[in-house]
Amino acid sequence: MLFNSYEFIFCFLPITLIIYYALTKKASYKASKYFLILASVAFYSYWDIRNLSILLVSIAVNFFVGRRIVETKKKTWLITGIAFNLLFLAYYKYADFFLDNANALLHTSFPHLDIVLPLGISFFTFTQTAYLVDAYKGETTAYSKSDYLLFVTIFPHLIAGPIIYHKDMIPQFSEESRYKFNFDNFAKGVTWFVIGLFKKVVIADWMSNVANLVFEHSEHLSILEAWGGSLAYTLQLYFDFSGYSEMAVGIALMLNYNLPINFNAPYKACSIIDFWRCWHITLSAFLKNYLYIPLGGNRNGHHMRNIMITMLLGGLWHGAGWTFVIWGGIHGCCICINHLWRKLNIHLPKIINWLLTFNVVNVAWIFFRAENFGQAFNIIKAMFDVSSFCYPYSRSLAKWMPNISYSKDFLFSSNDVLWLVLFMIISIAYYSTEDWMKEKFQPKAMTAIILSICFVYAVSQLNKLSAFLYFQF
């Protein structure tokens, strides 16, 4: 069941909200909490009920180990819990990747296990690993079974984040006011949801058509087609994942819960460091607090090494493939260069900083999207091949540039180009949803009309149903 589906929007979500608040009114807030657990489990099971046992085993083991850590303060239990989570993730997500590399290195022929990746495994594994580390640090208590179960499974975040932390989330479950209908929160929640839905269904899915076309024809691209395709995917990924995150925040607000914000206009960043402060914020925080700092952070003169390890592993977390590792390595190198540049105290114009940052991010995304290195290098080569200039509406340029070839067919239509430019402008000039909600949002009639139009149009596009990109991670 997708957030951008008829079943969720017109069935699961309204029924869940009605029963959730009705139980508080007719019974107690605890009844509402238990119902929300059941609803979350049902939401997860809808995808494939076989995955439910995997989720419940992970929860049971981490809850038990967490209790033992709180009670004994023994590092052995922490190591046991982290080892379990890493092995759990390695088996389900990376087993075939390891086998492929073993076969290549050892000239063996181990068969693929063909393990189906359980939805959300990366997110609920990271969420629980952070809990174990905090338990060892003495930053948590022995939570009740119901609170811990709801913490891990609460359905707005379960499939693709944002990554949540026990200290931010679990205390909310004990506040009785959370279980009573709040008009302001509901209005804000609906607004977040509609904005996210529009970004996913209208913008991201439109851009996917252009991006997919370019990556499928990577061997025969002109320079304009290569840049258009890379920019299309850059926009698709942002509007897709930020759209999901905002829908998740909105759904949680309808239920009176606060989820962390995951994006803050990242394509406006003027450095790679700033980019990672605005992109997938909860993952950045996790990598910093639970990987970079434990590695030593900026202590002992190993600052750059720890950055590279963190980003390489962060790349691998996104997918079982060397292209993801290269993507993480590119960002790691650029962050290191960024730190060194700041030490020189040389200041470039803001527009130059932005252009450098955006284009590094854009080129790096090619490895993130590409199915293999060959596809990635084909696109990058085409992006810098000025001899392949191709634009069917400018044939007159031929007399001025006789050495440039012009293909008869252009992959994009004129409408595709116009939409690409428009969405590019929106992504760069975008006033983050969080800032707008804090500073500008008011539940006025005009706001309701605009949101209604956006909602109706987005719903009209649901027949072109597509999964969120981060579901595969």
- For the segment 359-376, the average pLDDT, to the nearest whole number, is 94
Which residue type occupies 391?
Y
Which span out of 131-135, 155-159, 392-396 was modeled with the highest average pLDDT? 131-135
Q: Percentage of the chain with pLDDT > 70?
A: 92
Contact 303, 332 (CB under 8 A): no
**CA nearest to 283, candidates 315, 327, 325, 321:** 315
Instruction: Using the predicted structure, report yes or no on whether residue 334 has a pLDDT greater than 90.
Output: yes
- Give the CA dihedral 178, 183, 188, 191, nearest 10 degrees: 130
Residues 155-182: pLDDT tens digits?
999 888 789 999 999 999 988 888 899 9
Tell me the average pLDDT of the chain. Answer: 87
> CA-to-CA distance for 324 and 321, rounded, in angstroms?
6
The more confident residue out of 218 and 276 is: 276
Instruction: Using the predicted structure, report yes or no on whether residue 419 has a pLDDT greater than 70.
Output: yes
Instruction: Using the predicted structure, report yes or no on whether residue 327 has a pLDDT greater than 70.
Output: yes
The more confident residue out of 402 and 202 is: 202
Residues 68-82: pLDDT tens digits?
999 998 999 999 999
Instruction: Using the predicted structure, report yes or no on whether residue 271 has a pLDDT greater than 90.
Output: yes
- For the segment 287-304, the average pLDDT, to the nearest whole number, is 88
Contact 151, 170 (CB under 8 A): yes
Residues 44-61: pLDDT tens digits?
998 888 889 999 999 999
Instruction: Using the predicted structure, report yes or no on whether residue 360 has a pLDDT greater than 90.
Output: yes
Decide: residue 276, CB within 10 A, 0-12 exposed, 13-18 middle, 19+ buried.
Answer: buried
Which residue type occupies 356?
L
- Element spanning 57, H or E: helix 50-72
Quick one: how many helices (H) and strands (E) in the chain?
Answer: 23, 0
DSSP per-residue letters across 168-204: HHGGGGG-GGGGS--HHHHHHHHHHHHHHHHIIIIII
Instruction: Using the predicted structure, report yes or no on whether residue 126 has a pLDDT greater than 70.
Output: yes
Least confident span in 77-81, 189-193, 461-465 = 461-465
User: pLDDT at position 130, please?
Assistant: 94
Taking residue 273's Cβ as centre, other Cβ atoms within 10 Å add up to: 15
Instruction: Using the predicted structure, report yes or no on whether residue 62 has a pLDDT greater than 70.
Output: yes
Decide: residue 17, CB within 10 A, 0-12 exposed, 13-18 middle, 19+ buried.
Answer: middle
**Would you name the residues annotated as active-site residues?**
318
Distance of CA 283 to the CA centre of its chain: 8
Least confident span in 108-117, 193-202, 346-355, 439-448 = 439-448
- For the segment 373-385, the average pLDDT, to the nearest whole number, is 92
Residue located via tokens 């022995």: 142
- For the segment 14-36, the average pLDDT, to the nearest whole number, is 90
Q: Percentage of the chain with pLDDT > 90?
A: 54
Global pTM value: 0.88
